Structure 1
């Protein structure tokens, strides 16, 4: 049980984990947490300030995905996925089943992994290790079928698309997209990545 801190309690005290680590429920009940705090391996991950590239790429991908998303699916930004009691990452973009939001038991702050078809991470300097290594492993272990990683390349954005091998619960690379992202899964997608330079 967490007591609400009084005025003047320094932020580091709020973020100090209990000995057993934080749980996914703590993100909804800990007072004073910065927006978009994630839970990885029982530890709170406070996001760095967002770069223009990060924000604009999220906009480009959301708009592109919404143009072709089937009616049974929804595109969402910056919502968490509860993968387990000590894992609650927040992808930059998600594609989820619309029925998940119609479920009366939906918490409105997080999705279960079985409702998620695609997770997208836009890599920044601060998040490189998590976005390239740890989070894809967690998403794959949870059975999320598709993962995209977006990097800022020398010539513009680069999107790496992955699909899960259900037998191994590991992702395999299905494409590397530089100026144009055309894919058939999780549904037909056609996105002009150079749009990021015109926003």
Structure 2
């Protein structure tokens, strides 16, 4: 009689031929929070750093406080780019008319004005290379990439160049970020720093 242990089934989902689709992201059971779909593959995120959490909170709050009334600012929410790509930017600014149903799980990419990604150790190539290409192809007008430079934020801001369909840099901001688009903003980026000492 064999006492060899039975091969255990993998606990992660096995992709179908041709890869996963944007709709599968809503149907697959027990996916970790913030799972993204990139080129038909599921991407799981690593635990969040304190810098990442603070940067996402900062942009979500600051943009909400100054965004025009016809726009919505939402954190960590997926956007439909195409059948095989449903990324989840850390913060998005979208047209208010697509924020309609409390049960909705995604926004159409054509309604997104700005996508913000806060770079993590495991997302460097996705945030610097893969996602900007996909966001540009989806015609998202503005993309900001937030990098951690020794605990301080550096925001690399890009605007879609209509003639080339690619992003062009509009600047790198460290202490202060002053821009006119997608709406007028004047941000004190030092608010993202980890606080040391002081009162409790």
TM-score (norm 2): 0.89
Q: Equivalents in 2 of 1:197, 1:83: separation in Å?
A: 32
Larger % of helix: which? Answer: 1
Retained in 1: the 8 A contact 2:175–2:188?
Answer: yes
Answer whether contact 1:181 1:193 (CA < 8 A) is retained. yes
Residues 1:179 and 2:175 are matched in the alignment? yes
| 1:155 Cα deviation from its structure 2 partner | 6.3
Aligned to 2:114: 118
Q: Conserved in 2, the CA contact under 8 Å of 1:83 and 1:113?
A: yes
Aligned residue for 1:70?
68
Larger Rg: 2
* Structure 1 segments of 4+ aligned residues over 6 angstroms from their partners: none
What is the CA–CA distance in structure 1 between the aligned matches of 2:9 and 2:57, rounded to whole Å? 36
Residue ranges of structure 2 left out of the alignment (5+ in a row): 1-7, 196-200
Is the 1:160–1:175 Cα contact (8 Å) retained in structure 2?
yes
For the residue of structure 1 that corresponds to 2:193, the secondary structure is helix
Secondary structure of the structure 1 residue equivalent to 2:145: strand
Task: Give the deviation of 1:107 after TM superposition.
Answer: 6.5
Q: Distance in 1 between matches of 2:175 and 2:20?
A: 40
Tell me if structure 1 keeps the 8 A contact 2:79–2:108: yes
Query: Within 5 Å, which residues of 2 pair with 1:40-79?
Result: 40-79=38-77
Moved more, 132-141 or 160-169: 160-169
In 2, Cα distance between equivalents of 1:194 and 1:72 = 29
Instruction: Give unpaired runs (5+ residues) of structure 1.
Output: 1-7
User: Contact between 1:64 and 1:190, CA under 8 Å: does it hold in 2?
Assistant: no
For residue 197 of structure 1, report the CA deviation from its aligned partner: 2.4
Q: CA RMSD in A?
A: 1.6
Distance 2:82 2:187 in 1: 32
Scaled by the length of structure 1, the TM-score of the pair is 0.90
- Rounded Cα–Cα distance in structure 2 between residues aligned with 1:78 and 1:9: 31
Partner of 2:130: 134
1:39 aligns with 2:48: no
> Is contact 1:61-1:191 (8 Å) kept?
no
Mapped partners of 1:39, 1:172: distance in 2:
25
